[in-house]
Chain A
Amino acid sequence: MTHARIIARLDIKGPNLIKGVHLEGLRVVGDPHEHALRYYAEGADELLFIDIVASLYQRNNLSDIIKRAADRIYVPITVGGGIRSLDNVSEMMHSGADKVAINTAAIARPGLITEVARRYGSQCMVRWEAYTDNGRERTGVDVVEWARRAVDLGAGEILLTSVDQEGTRKGFDLPLVQQVCDAVRVPVTASGGFGRVEDLAAIAATGVSGIAIADALHWKRMALREIKQHAAAAGLDVRGAEGVK
């Protein structure tokens, strides 16, 4: 039975937890710290913080959010968004991150993946792939090739984010998740599109190791325990499906 982590994803802009609703722009959800604590208490297997603006002057802000969270949260924390150098990685790790997700900077300078993997171990290096459906028409091969290449360079995990599916609740981008899962041997986390419990059975069949959920949790459409119970019913081996401990 495939084991999968159910990951709470928190997109951060400035001091706020926000949620992008496709075609509608951004909406403020609230205080990231309060939400992080709630997801931890409800049994999230991991927390994923993504700084969606990631401009330089806001970095202190992000590391404060991570520091406060890491002080009370004892599950893995992954941080992404705007990480461009080993110094950025070091800052996030010293704030309490267990792993970093690197996207843009690794496209410009793939060697960064190797440097991070060497210094902190492959398990700390998550290659973050963000793509749009439109982009995929032209670059679908690239996403798969990039995932492969990132693993060769030392990435210990792939985080696959569908920009177009995000916030749409229309379900995961199954064909691409499947392609990436087939292309690499490291664990793959799918992010973007979760809407209905039926989506879990479909994503379970791809062989993903992690499912990131934002929207459904932020707007309290579904509780983590409920999602986990449905994931277990869909054939995934998950922690806390029988009631979170």
Chain B
Amino acid sequence: MTVPVTVIDYGIGNQLNVLRALEHCGASVKVVQQASAGDLDASRLVLPGVGAFGDGMSELRDRGFDDLVQRFAQTGRPFLGICVGMQVMFDGSDEMGDHAGLGLLPGRVRAVPAEGADGRPHRIPHIGWRVLAPASRWDGTILSEVDPGDRVYFVHSFAAQPTRREDRLATVDYDGIPICAAVHRDNLYGCQFHPERSADTGLRVLRRFLAL
């Protein structure tokens, strides 16, 4: 049985590998490039994205997806933002200016600190395979089948800072600096890491999303 998923393609970065990974996990994927009223009936919605926050938001607006995502969030059906797709769920970002986000979750997106906890500079972008640490309970969430010690792939220079502690689902430690790695509120999920590029662990995350 296939699970229908709508993936938003808003012209930044490359959605192809998200699509392939979802299909591999049993989804039948519909890719949309312009918002239409029918998209609100999607049973699951995925917002991927790499690149800059400001570019992403202006593309979302130009294509009518800002309104669509905000309304979809109210339906209670599962939503997943990946990387920049997660970042735009928040109120705004400091990346290259001051940009408003979709405001689905309270909080801001800020630069990953340029130094580790010891005050020594570390590499930016933050790229690599890291272990997820629970920030709230994973039972029943997209991370429920991630085992302790499992690693996922990150590549980013900015990260969300959710206002509400309980919205944080997982953090990742970057040289002693805790970075928000996943968020969850009701039907809304976001991953800073790339589940579509995180081998078996990432595919388990996507399968859980399809099973919500």
**Which of A94, A185, A209 has a CB less than 8 Å from the CB of B127?**
A209
- Chain B residues, Cβ within 8 Å of A168: none
Verify A123–B127 contact, CB threshold 8 A.
Answer: yes
Give the bracket for the number of chain B residues in contact with chain A: 35 or more
Interface string of A203-245 (1 = CB under 8 A from B): 0000001000000000000000000000000000011101001
Asked whether B130 is an interface residue with its Cβ less than 8 Å from the other chain, the reply is yes
Asked whether B140 is an interface residue with its Cβ less than 8 Å from the other chain, the reply is no
Interface of A is mostly: loop
Verify B50–A75 contact, CB threshold 8 A.
Answer: no
A184's closest neighbor in chain B, by CB? B123
- Chain B residues, Cβ within 8 Å of A185: 114, 121, 123-124
Verify A93–B129 contact, CB threshold 8 A.
Answer: no
Q: How far is the CA of A93 from the CA of B196 in the complex (A)?
A: 15
Verify B14–A209 contact, CB threshold 8 A.
Answer: no
User: Which residues of A, 84-139, contact B by the 8 Å Cβ criterion?
Assistant: 93-94, 96, 98, 119-124
- Size of the chain A interface, CB-CB below 8 angstroms: 32
Verify B123–A187 contact, CB threshold 8 A.
Answer: yes
Verify B13–A121 contact, CB threshold 8 A.
Answer: yes
- Chain A residues, Cβ within 8 Å of B199: 40, 43, 74-75, 245
- Chain A residues, Cβ within 8 Å of B198: 74-75
- Chain A residues, Cβ within 8 Å of B51: 119-121
Contact residues of A with B, CB < 8 Å? 3-5, 40, 43, 45, 70-71, 74-76, 93-94, 96, 98, 119-124, 156-157, 185-187, 209, 238-240, 242, 245
List 5 A-B pairs, minimum CB-CB distance, nearest first: A121-B51, A239-B129, A239-B151, A123-B155, A121-B50
What are 28 of the A-B contact pairs (CB < 8 Å)? A3-B128, A3-B129, A5-B128, A43-B199, A45-B128, A45-B129, A70-B20, A71-B20, A74-B21, A74-B200, A75-B153, A75-B197, A75-B198, A121-B12, A121-B50, A123-B125, A123-B127, A123-B157, A124-B50, A156-B125, A156-B155, A157-B125, A186-B124, A209-B128, A239-B151, A242-B149, A245-B147, A245-B201
